[in-house]
Homo-oligomer: A and B are copies of this chain.
Amino acid sequence: MKVKEVADLVGISVRTLHHYDAIGLLTPDGTTEAGYRLYSDENLEMLQQILFFRELDFPLTKIKEMIHSPSFDRMEALELHRSMLLDKRSRIDKMITTIDKTMRNARGEIQMTTKEKFEGFDFSRNPYEQEARERWGDEAVDKANAKAGSMSKDEQEAMTKTMNGIYAKLAELRSGSPDSAEAQAAIKEWYDLLNQMGSYTLEAFKCLGQMYVDDERFTKNIDRFGDGLAKFMRDAMAVYADANLK
């Protein structure tokens, strides 16, 4: 069979067959006197194999290995590729949820979830501590915990109140100019307060300080942190949104 016949039969382009010939992936068994490629039945079978693996997104070099070396472990290759696909899919899932969140955010449909979880503001028994340790190291977390632990209950309550006050102020300023001196002052106040909490808390909240500037970046930044911490921060966002509605 000549190129176009083959190409039409399996639904690929002539150029693709040329390419496969060029890289030695599929060399036709024969040629006419004029130099036309002639594909045998075996060539067709091999092409089926190639297209099968191609459809699974295997790179052509890998396919070449698989086809040309009988010792190649197909099962293992499939297994490996499967896990790669799973990774890819979960990345796509993440993208989709990020887009959804971005769109909801842009539409102003911020969900007001568990405000309560945030009310206590108990940094000393943070459920995401393990995650934070892995992310920023023991030292930072211990320092933050020591700081929080050294606060009396009254002090903690006072701090929570102060923070909520700042949220309210930020919310108030949100509708106005974000570049005003007032806003800058509120943000600085917030940063300073967070600074007292230790570095990992600060890191985790840094992006929230820019939230009023740009919702999309907020959505992106929040996902830089692990799932647990991201949730934690979204809760903070909820408090913020709530303050915004008062």
- List residues 70-90 of chain A with CB under 8 A from any CB of chain B: 74-75, 78-79, 81-82, 85-86, 88-89
Which residue, A75, A82, A106, A219, has most C-beta atoms of chain B within 10 A? A82
Q: Are B48 and A217 in contact (CB under 8 A)?
A: yes
Report the copy number of this chain in the oligomer: 2
**For A79, what are the chain B residues with a Cβ–Cβ distance below 8 Å?**
103
A96 CB–B CB distance under 8 Å: yes
Say whether, besides A48-B220, A217-B52, A85 and B78 are in contact (CB < 8 Å).
no
Are A89 and B98 closer than 8 Å at their CB atoms? no
Q: Mark A181-200, 1 if CB is under 8 A from B, else 0.
A: 00000000000000000000
Query: Could you tell me the distance between the alpha carbons of A82 and B57 in the complex, rounded to whole angstroms?
Result: 21
User: Given A45-B214, A217-B45, do A85 and B75 touch, yes or no (CB 8 Å)?
Assistant: no
Say whether chain A's binding surface is mostly helix, strand, loop, or mixed.
Answer: helix
Q: How far is the CA of A102 from the CA of B219 in the complex (A)?
A: 39
Complex Cα distance, B221 from A93, in Å, reads 28
C-alpha spacing A242/B102, complex, angstroms? 52
A52-B216, A216-B49 known; A85-B92 Cβ under 8 A: yes
> Any chain B CB within 8 A of the CB of A99?
yes
Residue positions of A touching B, CB distance < 8 A: 45, 48-49, 51-52, 55-57, 74-75, 78-79, 81-82, 85-86, 88-89, 92-93, 95-96, 98-100, 102-103, 106, 213-214, 216-217, 219-221
8 A–B contact pairs at CB < 8 A? A45-B213, A45-B214, A45-B217, A74-B106, A78-B99, A82-B96, A85-B96, A89-B92
